[in-house]
Amino acid sequence: MNFRTIGILCLCMMLVFACSTTEDTSEDDAKTETVIEETEHPTLSPIEQHGNLQVKGHQLLNEHGEVAQLRGMSFFWSQWQGQFYNKTIVDYLADDWQCDIIRAAMGVNHGGYIENPEVELQKVDQLIQAAVDNGLYVIIDYHAHTASEDVESAVDFFSQMAKKYGHLPNVIYEIYNEPLEDSWADVLVPYAQSVIAAIRQHDPDNLVLCGTRTWSQRVDEVAQKPLEDNNVAYVLHFYAGTHKQDLRDIGDRAIAAGTCIFVSEFGVINADGDGDINYASTKEWMQWLDKHQLSWCNWAVSEKEEGASIFLPGTTSNQTPTAGSLTESGLYLRNILRNRNYDQP
């Protein structure tokens, strides 16, 4: 056998070995790539992503020091649409709508908590547990317009809530939904001080939301006498069909003064909860919220026959809703939450 023949044989053997190695390597790479893809793109719940929330200046931060802009839905008054305060609906909002947060709007008066405490507490408990199961944040909202007239009941309620749920990072306390024309310095600040003191006896650090004068619109007044607690944000509510640039100007002044704003309730319709969607105004508001990285909840998880409701009248609460169950508002909000698309469909 001459050297040329030997060389050809060696070359063939090298090619065979190379092909075999390439096939094995390709298979190994494919397996490795699959594993890497799964570990590099984990699906984290909002709680896993953000953890404990903290106010720093005018911003709401997560436990990593990053801005936390939470987006989600507010339930309707518990005494009138309490059938939706269940795990099936929360699962749906978490999985399909991709909510970060929900709001339990516990009605205080008008047949609510004051008259039927056990009934309303059970609804709130169910919603909190469902939120925890899904890794969502949940606002415990004392849904009233005259809470400052009965401070004792509010103190008792939030003391119970903080004692029971204060160990959970999911929980946010909204201590007064929408005050009317109570003075910020003379009425709302003393009220908040009493309620927050009751909360802090059991929960030293979870976020507290404090309503402001005139249906939670006058956030600009907070800077005159801010609360001393270091983890409080102040509530701004708007309805796109009614409120426009003048209310955003109030919000801008508050932010410039260092006030942390949380939009715990807004609507895409008129302030009475009804009317057609104002798409143009809603888009302007959503862009403003994004500009300032403000958290929000939309009103409302309800099947009441009005423009704010996301469900059509007659929608059952014990089955997972479908697209056919949604109102025009429901379809629009679902698209906003899933795709950050603020344009009219």
Cα(81)–Cα(8) distance, integer angstroms: 84
The catalytic position among 178, 221, 303, 306 is: 178
- Give yes or no: 178 in active site: yes
Return all residues near 310 (Cβ < 8 A) that are at least 6 apart.
73, 298, 300, 301, 302, 326, 327, 329, 330, 333, 334
The answer to whether the beta carbons of residues 164 and 45 sit under 8 Å apart is no
What length does the chain have? Answer: 345
Q: Is 306 helix (H, G, I), strand (E, B) or coil?
A: coil
Q: Is 156 helix (H, G, I), strand (E, B) or coil?
A: helix
CB burial class (10 A; 0-12, 13-18, 19+) of residue 66? exposed
3-state SS track over 17-39? HHHHHHHHHHHHHHHHHHHHHHH
Cα(101)–Cα(255) distance, integer angstroms: 22
Q: In Å, how far are 80, 85, 118, 169, 233 from 131, measured between CA atoms?
A: 21, 11, 20, 11, 21
Strand partners, 15: none
The catalytic position among 120, 174, 221, 265 is: 265
Residue 309 falls in which region: left (phi positive, over 0), alpha (psi -120 to 50) or beta: beta
Strand partners, 262: 235
Distance of alpha carbon 291 from the chain centroid: 17
CA-derived radius of gyration, the chain: 26
**Is-cis flag, bond preceding 300, omega within 30?**
yes
Cα(283)–Cα(15) distance, integer angstroms: 63
Nearest CA-CA partner of 147 in 182, 122, 115, 173: 182
Catalytic residue list: 178, 265
